[in-house]
């Protein structure tokens, strides 16, 4: 055996040892994102035990091959790795730290992965509790939306030790196409909320520009083409146009249904606002966009995709 082959083989051993894989997986929170993520794990051969407060959500994933549980504690005590995909801070805190929660029931050494989008300080609090109980915790929020969850093309932004990240990597990539180590606990959440704040702002900017051009007599489709080959180009103008009919597959062409809801982007802006208040950082546009999306929610648009801002601006302009 040549020296290069020996070297490559020994590297392989190191890689396998650090990328520990798991037989028994727990999954809590089987909503729009979690149900698809859990089903992708089942497809890749993992044995899943699942829980949600909504029985129908459990039945949905059980029909794909998971075992249903009666509580988070039941999921937790049977798992080597456990993923949570829950709506907000309070749900995640309760699930992990209540007396009958995940941390109290888990076996020592269990790896806990929270993929919900929450406040980084909540991730840090949970990680401390987990460590006290001999457990490992990483935050791993995702981008890619429901389509990415369904097609297993999510990007995981991970906060935690490098060792735990490497140990979880193969497992995470069963639900996505990419996992990036962002730094210590909470840094996955920081990456997620900063990105979403920028996205929220850019969608408003694109919508204002397109509406103003239209009001001045310029066809929004022509203006979009110009923007997309000019300096204003961004994801919101090019890939996810808020103009109905321009890109057939995006929510604006489906009466703003599906996609990423106004309520969820407003939630993420609230997280950015709370974080910026703690650090004293100026986020004038982030704060303003938070208020704009919240006002849209008050107008009954919370369930529509956030690109509905374009329609909202046009309605306001008519008044």
Candidate segments 13-21, 49-57, 119-127, 210-218, binder of ligand NAD by CB under 6 A: 49-57
DSSP, collapsed to helix, strand or coil, labels residue 144 as: coil
39, 192, 267, 304: which one is catalytic? 192
Structure tokens at 282: 């100026």
C-alpha closest to that of 195 among 153, 155, 237: 155
142 lies in the binding site for ligand NAD (CB under 6 A)? yes
The Cα–Cα gap between 89 and 229 comes to 40
The Cα–Cα gap between 76 and 28 comes to 9
* C-alpha to C-alpha distances, 246 to 207, 208, 239, 254, nearest whole angstrom: 14, 17, 10, 11
Residue of the chain from 91, 233, 294, 314 that contacts ligand NAD (CB under 6 A): 91
Residue of the chain from 6, 10, 23, 54 that contacts ligand NAD (CB under 6 A): 54
Task: Return the residue nearest ligand NAD (CB atom).
Answer: 31
Specify the residue for token string 């809590």: 28
The Cα–Cα gap between 50 and 79 comes to 10
232 lies in the binding site for ligand NAD (CB under 6 A)? no
The Cα–Cα gap between 262 and 298 comes to 11
The Cα–Cα gap between 174 and 152 comes to 7
What would the x/- binding string for ligand NAD be over residues 158 to 187, using CB under 6 A? ------------------------------
CB closer to ligand NAD out of 141 and 220: 141
Active site residue 192: yes
273 lies in the binding site for ligand NAD (CB under 6 A)? no
CB closer to ligand NAD out of 91 and 233: 91
Residue of the chain from 66, 73, 85, 266 that contacts ligand NAD (CB under 6 A): 85
Q: What is the size of the binding site for ligand NAD (CB under 6 A)?
A: 25
* C-alpha to C-alpha distances, 66 to 26, 38, 149, nearest whole angstrom: 10, 8, 17
Residue of the chain from 19, 21, 24, 31 that contacts ligand NAD (CB under 6 A): 31
Interface positions with ligand NAD (CB under 6 A): 28-34, 51-54, 57, 85-87, 91, 94-95, 116-117, 142, 145-146, 260, 264
Catalytic residues, which ones? Answer: 192
């Amino acid at each position: 055996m040549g020296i290069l082959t020996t070297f490559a083989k020994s590297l392989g051993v190191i890689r396998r040892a650090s990328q520990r894989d798991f037989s028994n997986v727990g999954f809590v929170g089987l909503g729009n994102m979690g149900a698809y993520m859990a089903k992708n794990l089942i497809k890749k051969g993992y044995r899943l035990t699942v829980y949600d407060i909504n029985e129908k959500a459990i039945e949905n994933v059980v029909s794909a091959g998971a075992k249903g549980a009666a509580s988070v504690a039941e999921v937790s005590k049977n798992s080597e790795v456990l993923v949570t995909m829950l709506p907000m801070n309070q749900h995640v805190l309760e699930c992990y730290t209540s007396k009958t929660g995940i941390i109290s029931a888990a076996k020592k050494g269990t790896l806990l992965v929270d993929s919900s989008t929450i406040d980084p300080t909540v991730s840090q609090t949970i990680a401390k509790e987990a460590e006290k109980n001999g457990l490992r915790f990483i935050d791993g929020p995702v981008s890619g939306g429901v389509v990415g969850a369904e097609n297993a093309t999510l990007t995981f932004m991970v906060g935690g030790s490098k060792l735990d990240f490497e140990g979880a990597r193969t497992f995470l990539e069963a639900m996505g196409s990419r996992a990036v180590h962002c730094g210590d606990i909470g840094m996955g959440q920081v990456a997620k909320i900063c990105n979403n704040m920028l996205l929220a702002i850019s969608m408003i900017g694109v919508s204002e520009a397109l509406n103003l051009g239209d009001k001045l007599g310029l066809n929004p489709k022509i203006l979009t083409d110009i923007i997309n080959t000019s300096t204003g180009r961004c994801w919101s103008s090019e890939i996810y146009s808020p103009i109905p009919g321009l890109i057939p597959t995006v929510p604006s062409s489906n009466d703003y249904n599906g996609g990423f809801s106004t309520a969820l982007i407003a939630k993420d802006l609230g997280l950015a606002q709370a974080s910026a208040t703690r650090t004293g950082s100026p986020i004038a546009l982030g704060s303003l966009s938070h208020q704009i999306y919240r006002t849209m929610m008050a107008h009954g648009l919370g369930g529509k995709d956030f690109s509905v801002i374009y329609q909202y601006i046009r309605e306001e302009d008519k008044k």
